[in-house]
Structure 1
Amino acid sequence: MEWIKVLHLLAVLGWMTGIFAVPRAIIFWKREYAQLGAFGPTGDLTIRIYRFSLGLGVIAIATGLWLGWYWGFPLWVWSKLGLVALLAAHYGWTGRLVLRARKGIFTESDFWLRVFNEISVFGAIGVLIIVVFKPF
């Protein structure tokens, strides 16, 4: 079971990297697109980070469910899963932004994208608090 925990933590780290990096990268992609008027290397990198971290997110959720099942799904696991579901929805929305950016559609402001990026930080902090303190 310890190897599942290791795999889970590695996958979570990779997924969180994408969750935190991609919205910020869209800001730079937007600026690059405005300057070049075309798809550039920042967009390519952003897409690659999103795709890679998406796979890690799937592994993180699958191994998290496995661990939850192993522990009998105590209340703290359900609370964590609720926050993870919100983070997954946030990541899905990020994917929508990436798909629109591939078409050259950047309607959100830099400020909006920065706030959107920081929302995920609060979700990650909530997950950490629940996992470490297990308040329920």
Structure 2
Amino acid sequence: MLEATIKYAAIDKLCNGRTLEEKLEYLYKHIPRSSIDPIDDIGLPKVVVTDIKELYSLLCQFVHPSKKQISEYKLQFEKANLGFETHKELNSFNQVLLRTFDVILYIVLYTRGYYVMKDVFNVLSDEPNWKFHKGKHIKTLPNKHKPS
């Protein structure tokens, strides 16, 4: 989801005003597969780009396990614990998911502009317990409707 969000945001910025067909052609010809390199074309603050690159690297560990992770999985298999993640692993993964959703929402709102942001936050002003009001990146966006 993160990779797709980055690519679509980059295409929207780089191909502003072009037709859907032209945007798709740009996607197929100029946007690398399995990469978030287009993040540098979106215009996000440098500190956010750095954080997103670190998050992407962390997420890749779930898709491309290291030798150490595979050894741990093998050990769990030998103990007949295959497929049963520990409480600690699930909590850790949940934190990574929350961080990922915060970043995805940030990218979408940031690249859509102030008026879209304003409308979204206006609607969410009735939801003071919305988890992402306090998200690392979401809370940095302009929002006059922040809950107290």
Could you state the TM-score of these two structures normalised by the residue count of structure 2? 0.37
Could you state the TM-score of these two structures normalised by the residue count of structure 1? 0.40
Query: Which of the pair has more CA radius of gyration?
Result: 2
